[in-house]
Amino acid sequence: MISVPRSSAWRLALCLLILNPPAFGQAAPPAAAKTATAPKPSASFDAALTIRADQPGAKIDPRVYGSFAEHLGRGIYEGIWVGEGSPIPNTRGMRNDVIAALRKLQLPLLRWPGGCFADEYHWRDGIGPRNRRPRRANTWWGGPETNAFGLHEFMDFAELIGTEPYVSINVGSGSPREMAEWLEYMTSDSDSELAQLRRKNGRQKPWKVKLIGIGNENWGCGGNMRAEFYADTYKQFATFVKKYSDTAFERIASGPSDEQYAWTSVLMAQATKFMDGLSLHYYTLPTGNWDHKGSATHFGEPEWHATMMRTLRMGTFLNKHSAIMDKYDPQKHVALVVDEWGTWYDTEPGASPLYQQNTLRDALVAAINLNLFNQHSDRVRAAASAQAINVLQALILTKGPQMVLTPTYHVYDLYRVHRDALSLPVELQAPRYVLGQGSVPTLHASASRDARGVVHVSIANLDPNRSAQLKLKLTGAPSRKVSGRTLTASNMTALNDFGAAPAVTPASFESFRIEGEQVLLTLPSKSVTVVSIE
Ligand code: AHR
């Protein structure tokens, strides 16, 4: 139970902060202001959140809660595939613990086989008897590619976990013919040679595949193409995406990264009518420097704050790329598909490529990005975190027979309530969290209303030192019953480690009180909370 301060001094202070937030890039206060005479920061701050339950927006597509599995490091091999003879319990070679965890999460979408790897992957390498598949070098990420995990294994895995497959097609070193044959092999129920080959390789019925990515980062690892060249290439490939079943493919063009607005403009100007989606990639690096990205686990408040500031840039990218898309596609037929997002830290010496631990900080990053996708549900209709297992901001980490669920996994679990619900506008009035020259909002939220009329609100408290006393007001719906879960820990570096009791797991959220039209909540510092209001 909480009590919310109501003094007019508090209101005045809050208004001043809202009307005049310290700007990002503003000069640091003079040293004198930081002496012992400066007021001690309060252990909590006050905020207000209004949710317009009577003004629902677009449906939140469950596909925005997807993830990505690339042939990279231990993402596929060890993370999913251990082989049928492994002492690690498995189903047809795929580890049972990972299957169970992703199935429980009801992961809606899994992108495969890359990433950069996709533009050098030739699908025929991964079909047929495993002992006859070619062994190749994984030239992007190192190590041998045995092709033990190929198309049939991926599709089997997708069915075992109950997810929709999202297949990335090789454009950079492939051909329209190779693509067309792959699509036919996967989805034709005819007696064509390719459909018969699939049957011979053990799969009678075609798979259901709708989403296909036509290339990946073709401005970079996918061929270093100019936007105009890729637009033409994309149209060529897209023309040969034919229909082999009742379901048409949804064609996703390889889109921009970060602020590559020119790429979006060119693609939308030249290829909109060939597209069902345009991808966007954005990685959060605490330092913003690819040579020294920062540690996944050893960091202090400056790195915490910088990470929040950098991940919030996703909001700017969504706004700006969406605005360009609106110009060419005002009816919003083309989805913005954020099929790579997440934190990217320095890989620790000795770890497998792009392996990083995952702390409470990553949970906050996940919450902010998922809030942004919820808020942009009219345009962002699919997304994939990078990546699902043992790579970058993973949902799951494995070590031999052991497995841990990361804080990011738990955020995905908490946010499941938003899937298929209608996005609701949120208005937040909260002070800024200022550190040095940087400033971010203390709170970040999204809300939705499901088919039963239940309103779900997810709120991240970015401030690692202060809890929030939040007045939540729902317009257009009375608040009678509230329940929730929260994810926090005593340290910002808390993580779930192998062989130790998990330090970051969701707990029931009880710190609220219904008062008339409002719900008063106390949100712990550095936390992610999801409440459901009926
Ligand atoms: O997710 C790791 C890599 O990041 C992907 O292969 C590539 O698409 C991106 O640059």
Q: What is the mean pLDDT of each run of 10 residues along the chain (534 residues)?
A: 30 32 31 39 89 95 98 98 98 98 98 98 98 96 96 98 98 98 98 98 98 98 98 98 95 98 98 98 97 97 98 98 98 98 96 98 98 98 98 98 98 98 98 96 98 96 98 84 96 97 98 91 98 95
* 200 exposure class (CB count in 10 Å sphere: 0-12, 13-18, 19+): exposed
What confidence score (pLDDT) does residue 451 get?
96
Q: How far is the CA of 63 from the centre of ligand 1 (A)?
A: 20
Cβ count near 28 (within 10 Å) = 12
What confidence score (pLDDT) does residue 14 get?
30
pTM of the model: 0.92
Can you tell me which residue has the tokens 């959140």?
Answer: 49
What confidence score (pLDDT) does residue 517 get?
81
- Name 174's Cβ contacts closer than 8 Å, sequence gap at least 6: 119, 122
Task: State yes or no: is 217 an active-site residue.
Answer: yes
CA gap 504, 408 in Å, rounded: 10
Residue nearest to atom 9 of ligand 1 (CA): 115
CA gap 461, 444 in Å, rounded: 7
CA gap 116, 183 in Å, rounded: 20
What confidence score (pLDDT) does residue 516 get?
83
Q: How far is the CA of 294 from the centre of ligand 1 (A)?
A: 18
Q: How far is the CA of 73 from the centre of ligand 1 (A)?
A: 12
Cβ count near 59 (within 10 Å) = 16
Angle at 231 between CA 71 and CA 225, to 5 degrees: 60
CA 138 to chain centre: 25
What confidence score (pLDDT) does residue 88 get?
98
Nearest to 101 by CA among 55, 149, 67, 144: 67
What confidence score (pLDDT) does residue 467 get?
98
Q: How far is the CA of 100 from the centre of ligand 1 (A)?
A: 26
Q: Are 429 and 48 contacting, i.e. CB atoms less than 8 angstroms apart? A: yes
**SS3 of 181, please?**
helix
Q: Cα separations (Å) of 394 from 70, 102, 301, 414, 472? A: 12, 12, 22, 16, 32
Of 67, 116, 280, 391, best ligand 1 pocket probe by most atoms within 8 Å of the beta carbon? 116
What confidence score (pLDDT) does residue 42 get?
63
Catalytic residue among 164, 217, 250, 303: 217
Of 68, 70, 145, 354, best ligand 1 pocket probe by most atoms within 8 Å of the beta carbon? 70
What confidence score (pLDDT) does residue 399 get?
98
Nearest ligand 1 atom to the CA of 386 is: 1
Write down the H helix ranges in 106-254. 151-161, 176-187, 193-200, 227-239
CA gap 127, 147 in Å, rounded: 8
